[in-house]
């Protein structure tokens, strides 16, 4: 079967033409027209190691090449058209994001060996035919919790590269919680100096300097991924309270917390103190300045240690403080308990009690990101045999990760309110990066497909078959993916 029929996420339309395969060879060039240069260089970087070919990026058109064109049309800037003929490959898009998505499709039309870091033997055949494609939703996210266990910049970069191939365009970084604070804040240096020094289990932890974080954001942008930083307030804040005890109500410094903790929240900034609001204001001012992307995430989840009246006052006072920096504010679904303007984005995780609140807010205009824990939480075990992970939201094997619709998962949610989907990976039990890979793959491709592909393509038998073809690709990339028993892996 043509590799054009194994692309994940499924394209809007794909028409294989077996007589139109294109072969990448030593004479192939990559032609970049009208601003396509950076994506062309990225493509060359993918194709050069395995092929060993020079694959020069050139500006002048020539036959037998791979041509990338930004045609400036009025199409969806995130969509693309890909035409593979015997005589050459043409990839066209209205914007660079579309070209980048098209490159992810193009690499999947080559044999899995193209993903190797060292030279292989080919032939390097691109499956012939035509693809026309565009995303269903603007927000196709993944979240990584770098708090409960710390992951290095190099590891986060690899994560970015791995998720980008499934057309994920948002990386939400969970940067503070009870166990640690991971982002340098210059006005509040003890947050990382003290609060960043450990992790679950008491290991050494770590943090990102502002410079490192800026570089990471730029790296993600080169993969057309927007970083959304989350600093979780007013709950999930033991690390901040231990670093600055004036943020507690009783002024007593709590010890650093290195246990897994309960999921309902046991810490809180003191919502009655002015210093709390100065803290939040200064923290988000620095974070906003580090973040070219349009979103800041303020957490607001599981605030059982915050008196309700104080919580509502806190949220209502903090939203305009954070919003002043010109960013759209995201909060977990609990944020909707407060009186929030319709610009606030709610991230649904579906603990089962807030559905009516979320649907009502969405009807008033609040956009919603869908991360239903029983389907999209990457920290849930696949099966009872999975050695790590939780099961409070149930087991989530690939069929469950794939088997939901963003437009019907919350009863009464107007479909127009759906900004997109996001798969969160909380890391209380995830200690090492190979375990991050294990929990992420292959569930993330399933959720990424829900975010990208039109609902008309949704078909579990077909998805199983297509995903099976990705086993060899992930293996060549050295990804420690879970060989779910539900998938007939190639």
The residue ranges that bind ligand TNX (CB under 6 A) are 263, 301-302, 332, 349, 377, 379, 390, 426, 428
Question: Shortest distance, CB of residue 283 to ligand TNX, whole angstroms?
Answer: 19
Active-site positions read: 302
Strand 226-233 and strand 170-174: the pairing is parallel
Tokens of 135: 């995303």
- Find the largest Cα–Cα distance for the chain: 75
- Looking at the Cβ atoms of 298 and 418, the one nearer to ligand TNX is 298
Distances (CA, A) of 322 to 189, 231, 336: 20, 11, 16
- Looking at the Cβ atoms of 101 and 439, the one nearer to ligand TNX is 439
Question: Shortest distance, CB of residue 306 to ligand TNX, whole angstroms?
Answer: 14
Question: Shortest distance, CB of residue 61 to ligand TNX, whole angstroms?
Answer: 51
Q: Over the range 453-486, which residues count as b (16 or more CB within 10 Å of their CB) and which as e?
A: beeebbeeeebbbbbebbbebbbbbebbbbebeb
Question: Shortest distance, CB of residue 236 to ligand TNX, whole angstroms?
Answer: 6
Question: Shortest distance, CB of residue 160 to ligand TNX, whole angstroms?
Answer: 21
User: Of 109, 94, 110, which is closest to residue 49 (Cα–Cα)?
Assistant: 110
Instruction: Decide: 469 and 6 in contact? Cβ < 8 Å.
Output: yes
Q: Rounded to an integer, what distance in angstroms lies between the CA atom of residue 125 and that of residue 123?
A: 6
- Looking at the Cβ atoms of 21 and 145, the one nearer to ligand TNX is 145
Helix, strand, or coil (residue 424): strand
User: Of 326, 302, 325, 291, which is closest to residue 233 (Cα–Cα)?
Assistant: 302
- Looking at the Cβ atoms of 133 and 428, the one nearer to ligand TNX is 428
- Looking at the Cβ atoms of 3 and 374, the one nearer to ligand TNX is 374
H runs (alpha helix) in 264-354: 274-290, 308-323
User: Of 313, 284, 58, 323, which is closest to residue 176 (Cα–Cα)?
Assistant: 284
């Amino acid at each position: 079967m043509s590799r054009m029929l194994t692309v994940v996420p499924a394209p809007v339309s794909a028409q294989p033409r077996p007589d139109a395969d294109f072969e990448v060879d030593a004479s192939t060039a990559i032609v970049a027209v009208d601003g396509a240069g950076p994506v062309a260089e990225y493509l060359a970087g993918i194709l050069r190691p395995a092929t060993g070919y020079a694959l020069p990026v050139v500006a002048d058109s020539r036959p037998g090449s791979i041509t990338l064109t930004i045609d400036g049309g009025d199409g969806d800037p995130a969509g693309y058209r890909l035409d593979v003929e015997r005589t050459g490959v043409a990839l066209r898009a209205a914007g660079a994001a579309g070209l980048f998505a098209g490159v992810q499709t193009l690499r999947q039309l080559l044999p899995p060996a193209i993903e190797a870091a060292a030279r292989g033997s080919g032939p390097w055949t691109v499956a012939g035919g035509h693809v026309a494609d565009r995303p269903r939703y603007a927000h196709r996210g993944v979240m990584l919790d770098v708090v409960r266990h710390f992951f290095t910049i190099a590891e986060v970069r690899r994560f970015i590269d791995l998720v980008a191939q499934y057309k994920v365009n948002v990386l939400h970084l969970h940067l503070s919680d009870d166990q640690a604070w991971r982002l340098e804040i210059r006005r509040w240096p003890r947050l990382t100096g003290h609060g960043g020094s450990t992790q679950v289990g008491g290991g050494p932890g770590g943090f990102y300097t502002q410079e490192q974080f800026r570089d990471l954001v730029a790296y993600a942008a080169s993969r057309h991924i927007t970083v959304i930083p989350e600093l979780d307030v007013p709950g999930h804040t033991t690390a901040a309270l231990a670093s600055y005890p004036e943020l507690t109500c009783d002024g007593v410094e709590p010890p650093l917390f290195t246990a897994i903790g309960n999921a309902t929240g046991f810490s809180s900034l003191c919502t009655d103190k002015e210093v709390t609001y100065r803290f939040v204001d200064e923290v988000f001012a620095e974070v906003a300045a580090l973040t070219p992307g349009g979103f800041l995430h303020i957490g607001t989840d599981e605030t059982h240690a915050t008196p309700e009246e104080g919580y509502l006052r806190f949220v209502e006072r903090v939203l305009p403080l954070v919003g002043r920096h010109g960013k759209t504010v995201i909060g977990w679904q609990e944020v909707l308990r407060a009186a929030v303007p319709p610009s606030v984005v709610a991230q649904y995780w579906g603990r089962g009690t807030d559905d009516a609140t979320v649907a009502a807010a969405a009807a008033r205009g609040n956009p919603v990101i869908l991360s239903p824990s029983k389907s999209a939480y990457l920290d849930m075990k696949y099966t009872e045999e999975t050695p790590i992970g939780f099961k409070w939201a149930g087991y989530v094997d690939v069929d469950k990760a794939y088997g939901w619709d963003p437009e019907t998962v919350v009863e009464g949610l107007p479909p127009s309110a759906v900004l997109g989907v996001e798969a969160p990976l909380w890391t209380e039990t995830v200690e090492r990066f190979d375990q991050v890979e294990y929990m992420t793959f292959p569930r993330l491709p399933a959720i990424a497909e829900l975010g990208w592909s039109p609902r008309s393509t949704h078909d579990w038998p077909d998805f199983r078959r297509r995903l099976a073809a990705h086993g060899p690709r992930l293996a060549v990339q050295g990804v420690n993916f879970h060989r779910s028993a539900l998938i007939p892996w190639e």
